[in-house]
Amino acid sequence: MKDFSERINALTPEQRAVFELLRKSSRKKPARPGAPPPLERRTGAEPAPLSFDQERLWFLQQLDPASVTYNIGTVTRMEGRLDVPAFATALNEVVRRHQIWRTSFPLVDGRPVQAVAPVLRIEMPVVDLVEVDGARREAVALALAREGALRPYDLQRGPLLRALLVRLGEGEHLCLLAMHHIVTDWISSQIAWQEMAVLYQAAREGRPSPLPEPPVQYGDFAVWQREWLQGETLEHHVDFWRRELDGVPQVLELPTDRPRPASSTGRGRREPVAVPPRIADPFRALARQEGATPFIATLAAYSAVLFRVSGQERFLVGSPNANRNRPEIQGLLGFFLSQLVFRADLAGDPSFRELLGRAKKTAFAAYAHQELPFGKIVEALRPERDPSRAPLAQVDMQLVEAGPSSWIEVAGLRLSEVPFGEGLPKFDVSVSLLDGAEGIRGWFEYSLDLFDPPTITRLAESFASLIEQVGQRPDARLSDLRPLSEAARQQVLVEWSGAAAAGPESESPERSIAAQAARTPGVVAVVCGERRLTYGELDARARELAGCLRRLGVGPDVLVGLCAERSPEMVVGVLGTLKAGGAYVPLDPSYPEERLSFLAEDSGIRVLLTRGELRSRFPDGRFRIVDLDALEGARELDGDGPEAPPESLAYVIYTSGTTGRPKGVMVSRRGLAGYLVWAAKTYPRGSGSLLHSSISFDLTVTSLFVPLLRGERVVLVPESEGVEGLAAALRAGEGLSFVKLTPSHARALGRQPAGRTRSLILGGEALTGEDLAPWREAAPETLVCNEYGPTETVVGCSLFAAPAGELGPGPVPIGRPVAGARMVLLGRSFQPVPLGAVGEVFIGGPGVARGYLGRPELTAERFVPDPFGAAPGARLYRTGDLGRWRPDGTIEFVGRNDFQVKVRGYRIELGEIENVLAAHEGVR
Ligand code: AMP
Ligand code: MG
């Protein structure tokens, strides 16, 4: 060790600084107590085995021999007059000193061993770019370097080291040193440059190498590691890691911008991150106060940000581990670098101070067992093999203390590293930080397979903003911190969320249809098989019914049951009820009798409209039953009567309830009118629409009303005709304006694209490009409209529209809020989530229903005061749907936060089914 300290003393101050940096970064973690055997030079000429981490890397390389994922290159700028032969001598002396840079990995009995070439001369071609145009010179040089760095290596034969010198000018060169990771690591390259500087100076002066021979070689380390890490010692460490990582998910599901390819293409990029001293200082002070290192504090902040984006409370974060704790190996070249994994635990919405405490405990325990190579941890835990993901940790972080300078000066040369090697990410996202006088700075590196640059820029901003906030409010729960900058908040809350104010007062559908009837009384409004109703007839019949209903006491907020199969009478029933000022309650005739009588009972309808034999389904006496086929004595035309107030109800539609009891959603006339005016304006015009779905499903509102508002026709497809009927109607329909379907319907239709239908409106369930495959191919011009919205906020609240031919595979977004609707994505404690992060969809605006009929508690739970609402008393409906903002301001539907499912577009609470099952005597 004496020569070692002599050697250090011989260094210039800058050289010293670099050495100190190296020492610190390899020592910052406490070593495990206990006494490993001494690391000594081995005797005998047997080739050494591979170290554990080398073996793992070797194995990964065999899986994909052409992959360049483990190619490492550094580019160094050399300013000043370069003595090329002296530099080549210096480089080759480093190669002579360190066996590992002369090593290749031939197979002996099927297993790789470390074969050291007795002599290896590294050629250093010089490419002269002096004649290249000055502006392009550097780019050309870097392209050459990249090409050199990314060529595959032959591990069996070697050499695994390449050098290239590019001459940019009289006093400027770039030097590429490229290697396979299996013989080097980041610290090795720092050491090598340090040594080359010393050797270059000696060569210039014609002196022999002043450096002492390394006490041991990499092969000695490999033998030592294998002797030590076996039996009980190995078990001890493996045990710890098994326990430590038990039950922690081995995949962190970050929301990606693109579907994950089956295996990574290896393309990546970097985006900068900067935390200025003003913000970094209080953060560091907090860390000190809590006895945590800057690394641990930064790790905690990083996991908090990842949690925010993914919503996942538990996951693993990797970090490179220099793994050079033993003094004998501190000056060696070779692949020592290992990976440590840290458990992130965000459960229970902790404060940052508490999170820091957790991170500290986890990190110290991990450090105490850091000697176990990462490969052994993977072996012990056996994660599912997935070539598209790094094992155990798909996110990574490193933080290095910044040295006083990042360059070396030697014999009139100034050496500095050129950022390079960008674009070979080994993780989904990794962050590399330098902690120093200029704050905490560095970059986020990410896979371009998964993310677009703006997404990562936002991640970096969110990271910096979190560090700022926790420095000020360490005891606030993380959910109480602002996840967004003011500008970002403004963007999602104001620009993208849709109009905050109530939309314009819209004319009611019954008035608009009456006006249409006055203009075009003879035009066909409703078609059902051979039957036709003109606008004049439709309006007259609806008026008759309205008169009859009024006499039965129907008016604002009085409910009228409607149980009829698709027929002109059904349409009259809906319209007549609205004209009377009442609200219709659809009772689907296909429902079982018990459910129908429950709905009739629960809603407290005063009148029931029905036809023919359906009448026998309902008990007599509870409400008046009106036969739609025999409207007795309603002949006097009493006009349209007074218009019902906009806040009174238009309809009550029942949806599945968790407790086993369906719940009636009370939709106001204002809400319905607002939606219809928007839809009539937005959807393409044509001959009309097909009505093929049940009116007990709010999706049907669109197909029923929109054509009638525009003087088009509604073509009814009877229940009895099923999907075939729909397909036939589609083929027959000349220039239909639109057909509204659930994605399930679309799939059931199969390969029968409605070529002449102007547009396809899909809603009620998540839509994917695959659902539309036939349209994408056969009718690429059909406009596809993905409409999203729960019954509680009137049919549709957001829309994404694109021609079928423009849609790719994968999820189709649900788009932007429609006129009048307001959508926000909120995290816990009602804070808007940042772009890209998953949040719950909350919907506001005039379309928000009054609530659930007769269920004030349930109403209070789901319809909440709007914390951002400009209007007093504004409410938001919390949907239970999960979504995220895409960079273009559209929303992507992600899933549900509960147990609601959709079966053929119908909403079903699994709780309802569970309750029914539990009620069965055979179920316990
Ligand atoms: P409903 O009340 O029957 O209209 O069902 C509303 C629920 O259906 C929503 O809360 C979503 O879960 C789902 N849903 C409706 N439209 C869409 C859509 N376009 N994409 C994904 N899910 C949808
Ligand atoms: Mg809906």
Read off the pLDDT of residues 685-709 as tens digits, 9 standing for 90 and up. 999 999 999 999 999 999 999 999 9
Lowest-pLDDT range of 10-24, 297-311, 395-409, 634-648:
10-24
| Atom number, ligand 1, closest to the C-alpha of residue 814 | 19
Give 882-909 pLDDT, tens digit per residue: 999 888 889 999 888 877 777 766 777 7
Crossing angle between the packed helical segments 568-579 and 535-551, to the nearest 10 degrees: 50
The answer on pLDDT for 854 being more than 90 is yes
Give 197-239 pLDDT, tens digit per residue: 999 999 999 999 999 999 999 999 999 999 999 888 999 999 9
Alpha carbon of 546 to ligand 1 centroid (Å) = 33
Question: Three-state secondary structure along 795-849?
Answer: CCCEEEEEEHHHCCCCECCCEEECCCCEEEEECHHHCECCCCCCEEEEEECCCCC
Give the type of residue at 879. T
Name which residue sits closest to atom 4 of ligand 1, judged by CA.
790
* Residue in 422, 335, 440, 553 with CA at minimum distance from that of residue 74: 422
Give 27-53 pLDDT, tens digit per residue: 434 334 457 788 899 887 889 999 999
Check: CB of residue 596 under 8 Å from CB of residue 617.
Answer: yes
Average pLDDT over every residue of 530-536:
96
Question: DSSP states of 42-63 as a string?
Answer: --SSPPBPPPHHHHHHHHHHHH
Alpha carbon of 793 to ligand 2 centroid (Å) = 8
Alpha carbon of 893 to ligand 1 centroid (Å) = 9
C-alpha 160: how far from chain center: 38
Q: 688 CB less than 6 Å from ligand 1?
A: no
∠ CA 613-615-620, rounded to 5°: 145
Q: 892 CB less than 6 Å from ligand 1?
A: no
How many residues belong to the chain?
924
| Atom number, ligand 1, closest to the C-alpha of residue 792 | 2
Name which residue sits closest to atom 10 of ligand 1, judged by CA.
790
Residue-averaged pLDDT of the chain: 88
| Atom number, ligand 1, closest to the C-alpha of residue 766 | 21
∠ CA 835-839-842, rounded to 5°: 110
Q: Where does 531-587 have alpha helices with state H?
A: 535-551, 568-579
Give 502-523 pLDDT, tens digit per residue: 455 678 999 999 999 999 999 9
Terminal Cα distance for the chain, rounded:
74
Q: Which residues pair with 482 in a beta bridge?
A: none
Ligand that comes closest to the CA of residue 655: 1
Q: How many CB atoms lie within 10 A of CB 373?
A: 23
Higher-pLDDT residue of 500, 33: 500
Residue 297 pLDDT: 97
Average pLDDT over every residue of 434-452:
92
Which of 788, 797, 800 has most ligand 1 atoms within 8 Å of its beta carbon, as the pocket-test mutant? 788
Average pLDDT over every residue of 134-162:
92
Q: 907 CB less than 6 Å from ligand 1?
A: yes
Alpha carbon of 789 to ligand 2 centroid (Å) = 4
Pairing of strands 688-691, 663-668: unpaired
Alpha carbon of 729 to ligand 2 centroid (Å) = 23
Ligand that comes closest to the CA of residue 823: 1
Alpha carbon of 786 to ligand 1 centroid (Å) = 10
Average pLDDT over every residue of 105-119:
95
Q: Which residues pair with 428 in a beta bridge?
A: none
∠ CA 646-652-654, rounded to 5°: 155
Ligand that comes closest to the CA of residue 795: 2
Give 769-794 pLDDT, tens digit per residue: 999 888 888 888 889 999 999 999 99
Residue 396 pLDDT: 96
Name which residue sits closest to atom 21 of ligand 1, judged by CA.
766
Alpha carbon of 828 to ligand 1 centroid (Å) = 22
Pairing of strands 115-116, 103-104: antiparallel
Alpha carbon of 919 to ligand 1 centroid (Å) = 29
Give percent of the chain above pLDDT 70: 91
Q: 788 CB less than 6 Å from ligand 1?
A: yes
Give 69-79 pLDDT, tens digit per residue: 889 888 999 99
